[in-house]
Amino acid sequence: MSNPPERPLAERLLGCWRLLRADGRLDFAPNARMTFLADGYLDYEFDAGMHRHHRVRMVYRVEDRTLHTEVPEIAHRQSANFSFGAGDVLIFDFAGQQAMFVREYQV
C-alpha cells in the first residue's frame, strides 16, 4: 500500500502555529501565534504586555518555499524561506536566523 500524496506546502501552513523558539536577533513577541487562513490572510497575535493581546492582520502568498507577507495598512512587506522539520515543526529562515513554530490546530 502506498502513502497518500503529500499536501502542497501552502495547504500545510493552514491553521494556527505557536512560536517554539527564535534566534536572538529576530524580534518575535512573547507568545507569538500565526494563524494561516485559506483566503490568503494571516493573523499574527502576541502578548503586548500589561495583560493586553494584539493581533495584526496580514495578507500572504507562497511561492515555492518562500512565504511573502504584507501588512497593507503600513506597507510593510517581509519574505522568508520556510520548511517543515521533525515532528511537523514549521521553520522560517530569515537570512540565516531561524524561528520555529509548532502546530496548535489545523484547519
For the chain, how many structural domains are there in total?
1
- Predicted confidence band of residue 9 (pLDDT cuts 50, 70, 90): confident
Q: Does 13 score more than 90 pLDDT?
A: yes
Residue 74 lies in a domain: yes
pLDDT one-digit tens code per residue, 41-55: 999 999 877 778 889
pLDDT of residue 5: 44
Residue 2 lies in a domain: no
C-alpha cell at 82: 520556510
What is the Cα–Cα distance from 57 to 40, expressed in whole angstroms? Answer: 10
Residue 4 lies in a domain: no
Residue 61 lies in a domain: yes
Residue 59 lies in a domain: yes
In CATH, what number is assigned to the domain containing residue 50? 2.40.128.280
* This prediction's pTM: 0.85
Residue 67 lies in a domain: yes
- Domain of 33 in residue numbering reads as 9-105
* Mean of per-residue pLDDT scores for the chain: 89
Higher pLDDT residue, 71 or 3? 71
C-alpha cell at 32: 507569538
pLDDT of residue 7: 61
Q: Among residues 100, 105, 104, 102, which one has the least CA distance to residue 22?
A: 100
pLDDT one-digit tens code per residue, 73-88: 888 899 999 999 999 8
Q: Is 101 exposed, middle or buried (0-12, 13-18, 19+ CB in 10 A)?
A: buried
What is the Cα–Cα distance from 36 to 60, expressed in whole angstroms? Answer: 8
